[in-house]
A and B are shown apart, each in its own frame.
Chain A
């Protein structure tokens, strides 16, 4: 065990807390921006997936399958290392937000789609009978009910997005894993600092997953 700890003192550990938390702000920023862009895009993709217009539906389906089929890591590198090929240079932060948003939109489109499908037909027919416009029908009748059904799955996905932001280590974004790796490579105390990083995710993720489980049970009944 001593080889793992390398005489790491509590003071060492305490000294790493601030840099790690500071770096985790980048993960949180990328997560929040991704949700901001990804969720609405996912909703519009879901509308495309349910569209009566065949070419639009097929096109959306192809896009969603591509976005979900390629690993997020590959998408991130595709954007960051790929865009310079067409003379577009993009920073690692923007590349991260863009790539993860695309991935998020494609995954959540299925969540939104199943939520929209789960709203009883009668609700739409009633809105139609009451002379609601298509937009009002979606906004006031269907969407609020669909969101209620989709909320636990969307929150679960938000946690996965936070986990996914660690992949940006590979495009030199100074996020929490990059920070931990840097501390590890200068002190050789990889194990303690990576353990602290893992604990950060446990502290955020475990209560969140139990909370989402509780919410899921509540919405079911």
Chain B
């Protein structure tokens, strides 16, 4: 185990973070309309959203990435590993975050919407100014938990050739045969990355609890 080993492993960290953050960003945006569709008054749209979420969640990440990278990538148009990973994990993040947003919506007391209606706010205003901020506030701890899970799932991107942390770990293991040390270190680095996320989420939760009553 040399310093060089650590440098090579650290070279993978930006890719791990790129996949995680990129997919989380896609999920945070796409999850919102999907949640609205899931909670709409039209039963057909609601059913479609529910089925879509269940179907996407039931397929393992590695199958999604292979389907996108080898399936679409080798047939329809070439796609690089990082983009394939972002599309795949973005899709997975979107359906999971839609469920997180939904739990957040359900946690907002119905009296809030009723009070807004009594104050003659229209539905749009009531949603944007009253419901949505509280929904996001409730969602933060769940989003952080999902982000940490996503960080670990993102290791799967190494199977399609994204040169992330676990890819570098496997590469070094194959040339040195020191799997125990190297993969152990890789695991510790993953834990090291997830710690600040949980601290940050905790701090944000405390800060927002003071500002948004709920």
Binding site for B on A (CB under 8 A): 3-4, 6, 65-66, 69-75, 77-78, 80-86, 159, 163-164, 166-167, 169-170, 177, 180-181, 184, 188, 190-191, 194-195, 197-198, 201-202, 204-206, 208-210
Contacts and interface: CB of A to CB of B under 8 A. Distances in A.
A86 B183 CA distance: 14
Interface stretch (B23-31, B101-109, B130-138, B170-178): B170-178
Contacts of A181: 66, 70
B183 A195 contact: no
B190 A69 contact: yes
Interface string B43-73: 0000000010011011111111011001110
A166 B64 CA distance: 11
Nearest to A204: B58
Given A69-B191, A70-B152, A166-B62, A77 B71 contact: no
B66 A177 contact: yes
A4 B75 contact: yes
A210 B156 CA distance: 26
Contacts of A65: 191
B183 A209 contact: no
A74 B155 contact: yes
Contacts of A201: 58-60, 63
Given A69-B191, A177-B62, A177-B66, 16 more contacts: A4-B71, A70-B191, A72-B152, A73-B156, A74-B169, A78-B187, A83-B179, A159-B58, A166-B60, A184-B70, A190-B74, A194-B67, A194-B71, A195-B71, A201-B63, A205-B59
Interface in B154-201: 155-156, 158-159, 166, 169-170, 173-174, 177-181, 183-184, 186-188, 190-191, 194
Nearest to A169: B62
Contacts of A180: 66
A84 B179 contact: yes
Q: Which of A3, A6, A195, A198 has the most CB of B within 10 A?
A: A198
A162 to B, nearest CB: 8
Nearest to A77: B183
Contact of A74 (B66, B70, B166, B180): B166
B128 to A, nearest CB: 30
B94 to A, nearest CB: 17
Nearest to B170: A77
A184 B69 CA distance: 12
Contacts of A204: 58
A169 B159 CA distance: 9
Contact of B155 (A3, A73, A159, A197): A73
Nearest to A165: B60
A74 B9 CA distance: 13
A167 B67 CA distance: 15
A71 B148 CA distance: 10
B212 interface: no
Contact of A164 (B60, B74, B170, B187): B60
B176 to A, nearest CB: 9
A132 B166 CA distance: 50
Contact of B183 (A81, A166, A184, A206): A81
B76 interface: yes
B131 to A, nearest CB: 24
Contact of A177 (B54, B63, B71, B194): B63
A53 to B, nearest CB: 25
Contacts of B67: 191, 194-195, 198
Contacts of B76: 3-4
Contacts of B178: 85
A43 B180 CA distance: 27
B70 A70 contact: no
A201 to B, nearest CB: 5
Contacts of B156: 73, 167
A200 to B, nearest CB: 9
